[in-house]
Chain A
């Protein structure tokens, strides 16, 4: 549904995108994960035909985003990083305007606006100018505006930035629902948790390049980040343990790299037979580990 090949975009001397290849299948949720300035927003702007790439090609549902921008735009919806709502109009007017611009009839536009106000819990605020809405309400209206007609591809640029936890969960549920209905979703996020929860595929973007690509599970396997953390009561126990199982010693703790399987844990415990153990924790690799390793420790 989304295919890009060698997308390059430079701003002055900064290479925002440096040869990005992406392939997203229909009905999948694809996450672009990366720190600030990694090129996520630039990529979304290129894919949604708002920005021309300097090199490379991109197609959405078979339409070239540069040469067939009009056709591209008829199959996509974009919810950008900042709420793209008309602050002077009311919520209902915003929805009706967008429905009319999406070529719905006047009656159908009115009906669709009511449905969306209901679905996004904005019924009470329907007649108030949007400038008086809270941040969360604006975000909800923003997403509703993208769903006036069901797009084939939905772009969400940092959709949950600034949302409270409950609204975030609501939005996740909506995204999953849309994907179940066959909508292809490409979202950008700085939150590893979000990518882990929502995405079928994750591309880690760093300085304009895709540094890792795969399912969240595959990415976690990329780093040997799993470990058993053992805590001891005394220095003596710790030294004795470290002599038997190699690992990283830190204060009274020993951190042993493993794949996290039960067999591994048993092997380590057998080796430590006779040494008194205060605490044992098995840590599986998280997307955080992947992320930190791949982006050279620069936090999201």
Chain B
């Protein structure tokens, strides 16, 4: 059942050109923007491209995952959800379908971004095992963000409202160590930047790719992602049942 619904969500991707464009081109544009436009002016003590690529990868993954909110709201505001719900299947399989498609889509777009980054001078020092670590971190992060998006998709009453969530997610990495080291920020912002989930996740990814110290970022990153994932998943299932059956 769920596989059929994953197939459906994947089909949607190939049908909506905008979505595909946003998934592939936006990340590439952000990559090129930071490397060539801002990169020259930011001093991180290392080659900026090496510093910034992990952040870009996660920014794009987070933004990509946030698109799930739009897909979910799209279903909820249309009659199709009643058809799914009147079938003898778990209604939430529709949500799982969207999340699985989101993971697949983001893995493809990330591969493209990393490929281009390697082409323009990104030089990671990761071993095969570390690459797997990066993949694991990425999948965990995308799962957490996708389920969180599902929650927003279920709360939003309009597709436009659901789209607003992506903007929030798009800006989250800016107040983190993604693009500039946090010690360059004003004190209050430093506190926010260091204690938001994006920073440990980015530090972990960067450490795995480039060998920079990870410290306790690894555990923090996993804890944040698992926490967000569990809470969002439970909330999504609850909201889905409530929203359509009262």
A residues adjacent to B (C-beta < 8 A): 45, 48-52, 70-71, 73-74, 76-78, 80-89, 93, 97-98, 100-102, 129, 145
Whole-angstrom distance between the Cβ of B93 and the nearest chain A Cβ: 9
Whole-angstrom distance between the Cβ of A141 and the nearest chain B Cβ: 11
Residue B79 CB within 8 A of the other chain:
yes
In the bound complex, residues from chain B placing their C-beta under 8 Å from that of A80 are 79, 82-83
Closest to A93 in B: B11
Would B8 and A97 count as touching, CB distance under 8 A? yes
In chain B, residues 178-193, which have Cβ atoms closer than 8 Å to a Cβ of chain A?
none
A77→B87 CA distance, assembly (Å)? 8
Closest to B15 in A: A88
In the bound complex, residues from chain A placing their C-beta under 8 Å from that of B15 are 88-89, 129
A50→B245 CA distance, assembly (Å)? 5
Interface string of B74-91 (1 = CB under 8 A from A): 000011111111111100
Whole-angstrom distance between the Cβ of B94 and the nearest chain A Cβ: 10
In the bound complex, residues from chain A placing their C-beta under 8 Å from that of B244 are 50
Interface string of B1-35 (1 = CB under 8 A from A): 10011011001100110000000000000000000
Whole-angstrom distance between the Cβ of B132 and the nearest chain A Cβ: 33
Would A88 and B12 count as touching, CB distance under 8 A? yes
Would A78 and B83 count as touching, CB distance under 8 A? yes
In the bound complex, residues from chain A placing their C-beta under 8 Å from that of B4 are 97, 100-101
28 A-B Cβ contacts within 8 A?
Answer: A50-B82, A50-B86, A50-B245, A52-B245, A52-B246, A70-B88, A78-B82, A78-B86, A80-B83, A82-B78, A82-B79, A83-B79, A84-B79, A84-B81, A84-B82, A84-B83, A86-B80, A89-B12, A93-B11, A97-B4, A97-B7, A97-B8, A101-B4, A101-B5, A101-B89, A102-B87, A129-B15, A145-B83
Closest to B12 in A: A88
A91→B245 CA distance, assembly (Å)? 28
A48→B79 CA distance, assembly (Å)? 14
Would B246 and A51 count as touching, CB distance under 8 A? yes
Whole-angstrom distance between the Cβ of B215 and the nearest chain A Cβ: 45
| Minimum-distance CB pairs A-B, first 9 | A84-B79, A84-B83, A82-B79, A74-B88, A73-B88, A100-B4, A78-B86, A88-B15, A88-B12
Interface string of B47-88 (1 = CB under 8 A from A): 000000000000000000000000000000011111111111
In the bound complex, residues from chain A placing their C-beta under 8 Å from that of B81 are 84
Closest to A76 in B: B86
Apart from A71-B88, A101-B84, list 14 A-B contacts with CB within 8 A: A50-B86, A50-B244, A74-B88, A76-B86, A77-B86, A78-B83, A78-B86, A80-B82, A82-B79, A83-B79, A84-B80, A88-B15, A89-B8, A89-B15
Whole-angstrom distance between the Cβ of A8 and the nearest chain B Cβ: 14
Closest to B14 in A: A88
In the bound complex, residues from chain B placing their C-beta under 8 Å from that of A93 are 11
Known contacts A52-B245, A101-B1; A85 and B80 CB within 8 A of each other: yes
Known contacts A52-B245, A74-B88; A86 and B8 CB within 8 A of each other: yes
Whole-angstrom distance between the Cβ of A15 and the nearest chain B Cβ: 16
Would B245 and A51 count as touching, CB distance under 8 A? yes
In the bound complex, residues from chain A placing their C-beta under 8 Å from that of B79 are 80-85
> Which among A82, A89, A101, A129 is the interface contact of B87 at CB below 8 angstroms?
A101
In the bound complex, residues from chain B placing their C-beta under 8 Å from that of A100 are 1, 4
In the bound complex, residues from chain B placing their C-beta under 8 Å from that of A50 are 82, 85-86, 244-245
Whole-angstrom distance between the Cβ of A244 and the nearest chain B Cβ: 60
A210→B106 CA distance, assembly (Å)? 54
Whole-angstrom distance between the Cβ of B52 and the nearest chain A Cβ: 35
Closest to A45 in B: B82
A162→B245 CA distance, assembly (Å)? 27
Closest to B11 in A: A89
